[in-house]
Amino acid sequence: MQETGLLAERTDEQLLAAHIDGEAGAFPELLERYRNELLHFLIRFLGSRAAAEDVFQDTFLQIHLVAETFDTSRRFKPWLYTISANKARDYHRKQKRRAAASLSAPIGGDGEDTEFIDLIASETDSPETPITDQEQAQRVKQVVDDLPPHYREILLLNYFQKLSYNQIADSLDIPLGTVKSRLHSAVACFADTWKLHENDEKETEQTP
């Protein structure tokens, strides 16, 4: 128990260095530290929990295999998201013959379909949440899902994962200027798509 506590107090970079040195428990601690955060990102980006779990496992397998190449004077998180984003794009390429799963697509079967609502972490939902908040969250899911993949990706990294411009540039392997211009375009695209959804809803309400 004491060892677990000591591991929990270490930085990501220290844990990876300990893993490279062969310390038991360091890598599992690092994996668990990012399980929820990275899985939620991948679910939002890929639109499928099963796909997200596969890519999550592939990401940490890759980290395990190439851990010794990491410069521990740099931050671990951008490197993690670089690998994860690459794995997610690889998954998309492999699935290009299939339509991308919608973040709000029905799942299940036999007349018992439910909506896929993982954009907002499920543990944040509660009976006390106002219905208006739930409706707005659902609309956000739909709008994000409608964005082109490169816009959806950069919005998730910046607004949901709170990565800085420099960290996003490292993660996506693009120039800093491209990050800023792409993020600006993504926000504008989100705003336009949001308005389209609002107009569609108004037209639906006015239809007798």
> Of 96, 115, 150, which closes a domain?
96
- Please report, rounded to a whole number, the percentage of residues in the chain having pLDDT higher than 90: 13
Task: Look up the CATH number of the domain holding residue 77.
Answer: 1.10.1740.10
pLDDT of residue 114: 34
Q: Is the residue at 103 inside a domain?
A: no
Which pLDDT tens digit goes with each residue over 127-159?
333 435 566 667 777 787 788 888 888 888 887
Q: How far is 13 from 55, CA to CA, in rounded Å? A: 22
Q: How many domains does the chain have?
A: 2
DSSP result, the chain: -HHHHHHHHS-HHHHHHHHHTT-TTHHHHHHHHHHHHHHHHHHHHHS-HHHHHHHHHHHHHHHHHHGGGS-TTS-HHHHHHHHHHHHHHHHHHHTTTSPPPPTT-EES-TT--EE---SS-GGG--TTS-HHHHHHHHHHHHHHHHS-HHHHHHHIIIIIS---HHHHHHHHT--HHHHHHHHHHHHHHHHHHHHHHHHHHHHHHH--
Task: Look up the CATH number of the domain holding residue 197.
Answer: 1.10.10.10
pLDDT of residue 32: 92
Range(s) of the domain holding residue 22:
7-96
| Pair 132, 88 in one domain | no
| Pair 13, 92 in one domain | yes
Q: How far is 51 from 54, CA to CA, in rounded Å? A: 5
Which pLDDT tens digit goes with each residue over 166-207?
888 888 888 888 988 888 888 888 888 887 877 776 666 666
